[in-house]
Every structure is written in C-alpha cells, then in structure tokens.
A and B are shown apart, each in its own frame.
Chain A
Amino acid sequence: MALRIGGASKSFSDHKVLDAVDFDLAAGEVHALLGENGAGKSTLMNILSGIYTADAGRIEIDGAPVSVSGPAAAVALGIGMVHQHFKLVQPFTGRENLHLAASGLPVVPPRATVDAQISELVIRSGLDVALDVPVARLSVAEQQRIEILKTLLLGARILVLDEPTAVLTDAEADGLLSLVRDLAAQGHAIIFITHKLREVISAGDRVSVLRRGRMVLANRAVEDVTRDDLSSAMIGGQDVAVTKRAGARSGADLLSVSGATVMDGGATFVSGANLTVRAGEIHGLAGVGGNGQRELAEAVLGMRPLADGRVVLEGHDLKAASVAARRGVGMRYIPADRSADALASNVTLADNLAATAVRTGALGRGLVWPGRIRAHAGSLIEAFGIAGASGGARRPVRLLSGGNAQKVILAREIDGDARLIIAHSPTRGLDVAACAYVHDRLIEAASRGAGVLLISEDLEEILALSDRISVISRGRIASTADGRPDRAQIGDLMLGHA
C-alpha cells in the first residue's frame, strides 16, 4: 500500500471530529472519499498534509511509519494537496507560480532545470495549460490544472483532490475525471474527495464514506457497492432529505423581473433576464457559480444598477429605488458570502441583528436605546436558537460557527415584514443539521405567503425545495414551459441548450 492510515482520531475541545479512522490507498488507484459537510473529510486530509496533528493513530507510507510534522514534511513525503481554494498568486503567470513552488524545495535547481522539468511534466501528465499568462486571466479549471502541476512538480506521488469538481462546470468536471484516471494510470495514488455519487462511480476504483467522524464504509471496491449503499452510508439512518412541501399553494406574481441586463466594466453579467416569483412559492434558480447569479441578485436588491429592464415587487416599480426603499417594501437578502456581504464580523451579535431594525423604529426613534437592542437580540437569539452566543449578544459575530452566523442572518432577514427573500447559496459550508434548519425556515417563510428566490449551485437543494425551477447560464435565464425541469433538463439548460 502506498498509504495506510490507522486509528486516526482528532478532537477539537471535547468535540470528536475523527474517531479511530482507517484508510488505505494503493499506487495507481483512485480512492474516492465521500461524506457530508462536517463529516471529517477535511480534518483527515489536514492530518495527512501536516496541518493538524492527530491525537492518536499512525500513518504509513510504503509500509514504513512516518510522522507528518508539518506541510513541508508532507511535501517531502510525496503528499500533495490540491485545495478547493487555490494557492496561486493571481497576478503571476502559471510559470512564475510553479517557480515559486519549486523554490520551496529543499534543494533548489536553477531556473532552466525547473523549466525543463515543467515542460517534461506537462507532456507526461497531459496537463496542458497556458503557462505564460497571468493566472487571474485563466478559468477556474485551468487554474486547477496549474495547482495539480504544482503538486506534481514538488514530487507528489500521493495526490489529494479536495472536492475538485465543486467549482467546475459539468464538461470541465468530465475533463478532470479523465485526467485523474490518467494520473492514476501513471502510477500516482489519488484521494478524490467529493459528495457526488456520479463521480465516485465514473472515476473511483475504491470508495470510503465518512459520517460524523467515523468510517461507515471503508475501502470498498466501487463495483461492489450500489448508489443506495453510498447514499445511505453518507446520510445514515436519519432522513435528512427535506420533505417536499405537499401541495404548496402559490398565489399571484410577487416579484417580476423583466428584461434585466446587468453590466459592469464593459462585461455583461446578466442579459435580458425574465423571472417571476409568486407569493408562497420557492423559485429555485440553478446554475454553476459565476454565471451572473450574484450580479442578478444584487441588481434586484438595488446594489447594482440595471442597464436595462424592470424590477417590480407587488406593484412597486423599483427600477430606480434605493436599497432602503426596496427593503421598505419587503425585499430581504441572504447573500452567498456571509462574512463579507451580510455581517459586520467584528461587531456584536446584538448590533448585527439591530442593523436593519433601526429603520422600523422598534429600537427607538431618533435615538436608539441599548436596552431595546439587547431585548431585540435576546428574543431573536431565542426564537432562532442561535447557539454559541454564550457571553450573550455582546460577542462579535466572527466568533460564531458558520451555522450560527447563518442563523443570525436568517433572524434578521426573515422578519414579519419580509415579502421577497433572495437566498443565495444559503447552506454553503454548513453541516447537515444547519442545512436542514435553513431549509425549514425558508419553507416556513414561503408558507406564510412570502416569495423565496433560492439561488443555489447545489442541485439537490434546488430539487428538494423548489416549486418552480429556472436555470441561469452565462447571464441568461431559461426554464421549461411548465417551470419544472427534471434533472436532465436542468443539465441541458446549464450548458446553454434550450
């Protein structure tokens, strides 16, 4: 075995994240590692790459016990991580990034040697990519190729790909999968982390599943397991799939966006988009990230100008309205980037919750009363079960976990006056329980008669929650005539085929 992990355990302040996990990997194979968010996949891989030290357990490489004392030690042992967030200097060219990585090698070869090595590597691995333009100008898939080249250049034989397809389009993902097969055929040992069953079946040799820190299905050949085995191993006995609301009734059009075009710096992000959200419905907008979702949401919210088109909410023409005016008529926003766009991270929980309530006069008119801010926060903390708020509402929100931070946003945005809630990737990075909570709150808001525009890259989420589904692709919105495309039709629409 190229790699064997035995009995790995890790706790963070009493919380057991990994519990006696066994894992092995042979040269020339692709071993898929499945698991929900928070199942412990990242922790396991961080132990392997020297970022964390395991509390217990051992790691063997080629049969010999090793100690991975830090990231540099991992590199020296031939372990290469390809993270979800690329570690590339954006203004540098691919070649410069490779030179930079190579300069971290213990013995530094001269530049010409590195260049020769790079060319040889590109030919051998089939990782064809433009190396002499700034990385910032490359697509995500191309940047990923450079990231993989980097680990190979550093001599990695064990490659860890952390959810590599999460950021790719379907076509790009297929390209990556065949590349991964090629790398395995060249003798590399590959750990492929994913939560997409399709990828496990098409690219994996063996598969393991982590759930809540335990290996619930270990080192099994892919041919010997069924899709059902895998999905039940992943989610366990509990039924976490959101129960589709029975016979959701939806009323008249609440929001109507017509011919919306959003431009910025000469580039067109959204072109001629039409979309309606009815009262009481959840309208899912599916699409691969970066296809204009954010720009559309921000334009509807008034944070960006519309180059063309109209936004009407319950008869109010909002084309030129301010953000405040839009909020005044009941628009609410749950942005994709919690820390950057929704919360002031160094500001207290109470003040974050009060930020939108000051306009309503509930906290006092003219002057706001600290007592009312506290009371306001206290009632919301209770109503939404915001945990981790020990020390009360005076703690800065940056100290909260992702799930609790999202609850703060939900508590603030889904108030009694909310008419239209735009939720952009509201469960990104959350664990299963927090996801379910967010979904429940969105469903609840819809059943109270508000409209929800759910923008998500997670197709399962869209399919589970939505009454109607549209797809955004390169700034254009499309759907089927009945507004309920199935999985295959959504895939076609994502690729831009109508």
Chain B
Amino acid sequence: MTIAVTAWLGAMPGFMAPLLLAALGLLLCERAGVLNLGVEGVMALGAMVGAAMSLAGWSPWAAMGAGALGGLAVSLPFMVAVIVFRAPQISAGLALAAIALGASAALGRGASHKPFPGLENMTWGGDWAALPVVGRMLFQQDAVVYLTLILAGLMALWLMRTRAGLRLRAVGEDPATADASGVDVQLYQFGAVAVGSLLIGLAGAYLSVGGSNIWTEGMVAGRGWIALALVVFAQWSPIRAIGGAVLFGGAEALIPRLQAMGVEVPVYLLSMLPYALTIGVLVLMALSKRARQAEPGFLGRAYIRQDR
C-alpha cells in the first residue's frame, strides 16, 4: 500500500504541472477579460511542436520553447479577431480550438508514435529525497514542475502587488474605468493573451516533452477543458490554482495506479472524466456566491469605447 501511495504521489506533480501551466495562462487571459476557449487546441499544437522539435534533435528546453511559440502563433488570429475586431469570444475561442486541433493533427503526421528523449527528473534535497512516501513527490521531479509552482507565486504577486497587475485586473473588471484612467485596454488584453498563449502552448509541449516522450494525436485528452474548469475552481487566483491542479492532477494520476492494481475501470468512463469533472466543478461554483463574485466583471464581453 505504501509503495502504491508513494508511486501515486510521485507521479502526481507530473500530472499537475501541465494543468497548472495551462490554467495560469488562461487565468491571465481571463483577468484581462478575454475568455479563451481555444486552450485544448493550443495545448495540442504545443504538444505536437514540442515533439517534432525533439525528434529534430532539439534539446527538451528548446523544444518546449518552440511549443510555447507555436501556441502563441496559432492564437494570433484569435487575438486579432477578439481584441481588435471584438468578435464574439465564445465562437472565436471554439474556432481556435478546432483550428489548432486540426493543425496539430495535420502537421504532426510525421511525428506520430515516435519516441524521443525527454526532460530528465532532478534529484535534490540530499537525504530529504529519501523521505518515505513524500520524498519522491517533493525532491525527484523535473525542473518544469518547480518552475511552474514558482510562476504561480510570481503571477499572484504581479497581479495583486504591481501597478501593471492592477491595470490588468481593472481591464478585466471594468474596461471603461480603466480606459478613463489612461490604461490602453487593448494593449493590456493583447499582452495578457499573448503571454497566456505562450504558457498554454508550453503546457502542451510539456505533455509530450516532459511527460510521455512520444506524441500521438489527441494526447491532450481534454486537459484544456479541465484547465478552464480549474480557473473557475480557483476563483481566478493563481495560488488557489495550485490547489486545484494538485486535486485534478492527483485524480488523473490515480487512474494508472488503479489499473496497475488490477481495478477494472472502463476506458470510456475515463475519457468521459475530464468533461464530467468540468461540468461538475462549474455547477458547484455557480452555486457559490463568492465564486461568482470572483469572476472578472467583464469576462467574455467586448469593450467598445463610447462614441464621443
């Protein structure tokens, strides 16, 4: 039992990190008032680019960087449509998801099912790494896991403690007031979605380069949608997103353990899980008054300055 728990906890951060990265990217977009429903596709593209570059002989870090840039590139039309032309965010986001999913499948055909060397785990902390049960979870993970956690902390600080963070939040809550205070609403939204897309692309690249070390079509498997639910669950707070990612990632890490222990879990039930979880979380959060208040006031709406 202890072995199973140790293995489960040890695998958990690897499942948590991509969810958290994607959620942080999304959180940034949403704090600026932009609802980006394209996550699933952008992650898929990032995963494909990361794998293709790894197969081309790039180092894991360079490959993940390329995946992040791929995420940004595929999001550009969405950004222009939504921020410049104020297209409806929901349909534009769904279109982005479809385009990016399709593009990753079409462009990645040559990279499919070919293993490549991925990111190595670090071992640090000296004797602490040998701690029973939690040693592996805390001290034997790859660098992305640690960096992602640090990023969550930095993002929280940036949002709540800096002038730029304050402006970004104002843009998402009440763009008219931000505008009147001299904040360039579109510039902030552009910046937020650009950085957000980089993070989401990176989350996808980490799935292939840091996780499976192989790319197959559809390997994102709904994690983008989970990230969307995760942001709501976290009430738009980067710190709470860590908790959410641990929860969702832990649940995900449990499935292979259960299978290894011989528990029969129908595969269709498993593929349903992300969506069921998403709906469940959204319903729960909709019932909570506090969660509803945490939502950025202008999320998903187009701001057009009043005619003068």
Contacts and interface: CB of A to CB of B under 8 A. Distances in A.
B181 interface: yes
Contacts of B176: 87
A82 B308 CA distance: 18
Q: Which of A91, A99, A101, A111 has the most CB of B within 10 A?
A: A91
> Which of A90, A91, A100, A104 has most B Cβ within 10 Å?
A100
Interface in B164-212: 166-167, 169-170, 173-174, 176-178, 180-183
B257 to A, nearest CB: 41
A107 to B, nearest CB: 12
B88 to A, nearest CB: 15
B178 A89 contact: yes
Interface in B141-181: 163, 166-167, 169-170, 173-174, 176-178, 180-181
A92 B180 contact: no
A105 B167 CA distance: 13
A104 B166 CA distance: 12
A366 to B, nearest CB: 34
A364 B51 CA distance: 65
Contacts of A71: 180
A101 B297 CA distance: 19
Interface in B276-308: 289, 293, 297, 308
Nearest to A150: B181
Contact of A92 (B163, B173, B183, B289): B173
A36 interface: no
A91 B163 contact: no
Q: Tell me whether chain A's interface is mostly helix, strand or loop, or mixed.
A: loop
Contacts of B174: 88-90
Contacts of B167: 100, 103
A72 interface: yes
Contacts of A253: none
Q: Main SS of chain B's interface residues?
A: helix
B210 to A, nearest CB: 36
Given A71-B180, A87-B180, A92-B173, A100 B166 contact: yes
A111 to B, nearest CB: 7
B166 A103 contact: yes
Interface in B64-102: none
A458 interface: no
A71 B181 CA distance: 9
Contacts of A72: 182
A5 B180 CA distance: 24
A100 B177 CA distance: 9
Contact of A90 (B163, B173, B289): B173
A152 B84 CA distance: 34
A105 B169 CA distance: 18
A88 B177 contact: yes
A309 to B, nearest CB: 26
Interface in A80-102: 87-92, 96, 99-101
Contacts of B173: 89-92
B194 to A, nearest CB: 21
Contact of A103 (B181, B297, B308): B181
A266 to B, nearest CB: 10
A269 interface: no
B297 A90 contact: yes
A400 B208 CA distance: 58
Contact of B183 (A52, A103, A105, A265): A103
Nearest to A136: B293
Contacts of B180: 71, 87
8 nearest A-B pairs in the assembled complex, by CB-CB distance: A104-B182, A104-B181, A89-B174, A87-B177, A89-B173, A100-B181, A87-B180, A100-B170
18 contacts: A71-B180, A87-B177, A87-B181, A88-B174, A88-B177, A90-B173, A91-B173, A91-B293, A92-B169, A92-B173, A96-B166, A100-B167, A100-B183, A103-B163, A103-B166, A103-B183, A104-B181, A104-B183
Given A87-B176, A101-B181, 18 more contacts: A71-B180, A88-B177, A89-B173, A89-B174, A89-B177, A90-B173, A90-B174, A91-B173, A91-B297, A92-B169, A92-B170, A92-B173, A99-B166, A100-B170, A100-B181, A103-B181, A103-B183, A265-B289
